[in-house]
């Protein structure tokens, strides 16, 4: 992966609903995911867990970054994210709302420019802001013969 901001992950199916997630261009160990029962065996986090973890992790890192930007040395923070799955109008499961609570080890009164930190830290969070704005996701399916199929279009 180059320094152009590109991100590439590769997923390979390992079981009925289990996947190995490799992080291209890094030395990171692969992550193993799985859907919860009854579909999968629950042998790893499922996509909803990963989405929520990404949001909470990004917000937490952004808060630490903003605190340090103003020369603070914050103690360890703790974040908790909760959400509920709900069915949309078509009966499909979605996560329409999540709540993140970040707990500081420090008193806000002891942190420099805490009001400014609060006003800007969320803007540093690539994941949360991307989700809030909506992420355009283009999808293509390539079959065993190398033919590319795009959902919603008629094959020629």
User: Given a cut of 80, is residue 153 above it in pLDDT?
Assistant: no
pTM, two decimals, is 0.88
Q: What band does 2 get if pLDDT is binned at 50, 70 and 90?
A: very low
CATH number of 46-132: 3.30.300.20
Higher per-residue confidence, 99 vs 136: 99
Instruction: Indicate the domain borders of the chain.
Output: 1-44, 46-132
Burial class of residue 144 (count of CB atoms within 10 Å of its CB; 0-12, 13-18, 19+): exposed
List Cα–Cα distances, 111 to 52, 116, 150, in angstroms.
28, 11, 51
Mind listing the pLDDT tens digit for each residue in 128-144?
999 999 888 888 988 89
Starting at the edge strand that comes first in sequence, how are the strands of the sheet with 31-34 ordered? 9-13, 18-23, 31-34
Show the 3-state SS of 124-141.
Answer: HCHHHHHHHHCCCCCCCE
Q: Compute the distance between CA of residue 39 and CA of residue 34 in angstroms, rounded to an integer.
A: 9
Average pLDDT along the chain: 93
Mind listing the pLDDT tens digit for each residue in 48-98?
999 999 999 999 999 999 999 999 999 999 999 999 999 999 999 999 999
What integer pLDDT is reported at residue 103 of this predicted model?
97
What integer pLDDT is reported at residue 1 of this predicted model?
37
List Cα–Cα distances, 50 to 20, 26, 58, in angstroms.
13, 19, 12
Q: Which of 128, 150, 132 is nearest to 140 (CA)?
A: 150
List Cα–Cα distances, 101 to 63, 93, 107, in angstroms.
12, 24, 15
């Amino acid at each position: 992966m180059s320094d152009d901001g590109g991100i590439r992950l590769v997923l390979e199916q390992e079981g009925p609903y289990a996947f190995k997630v490799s992080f291209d261009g890094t030395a990171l160990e692969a992550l193993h995911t799985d859907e919860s029962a009854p579909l999968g065996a629950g042998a790893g986090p499922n996509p909803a867990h990963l989405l929520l973890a990404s949001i909470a992790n990004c917000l937490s890192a952004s808060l630490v970054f903003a605190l340090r930007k103003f020369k603070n040395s914050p103690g360890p923070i703790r974040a908790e994210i909760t959400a509920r799955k709900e069915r949309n109008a078509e009966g499909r499961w979605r996560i329409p709302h999540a709540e993140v609570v970040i707990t500081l080890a420090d008193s806000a009164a002891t942190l420099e420019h805490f009001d400014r930190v609060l006003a800007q830290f969320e803007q540093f969070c690539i994941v949360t802001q991307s989700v809030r704005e909506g992420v355009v996701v283009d999808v293509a399916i390539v079959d065993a013969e190398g033919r590319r199929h795009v959902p919603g279009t008629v094959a020629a």
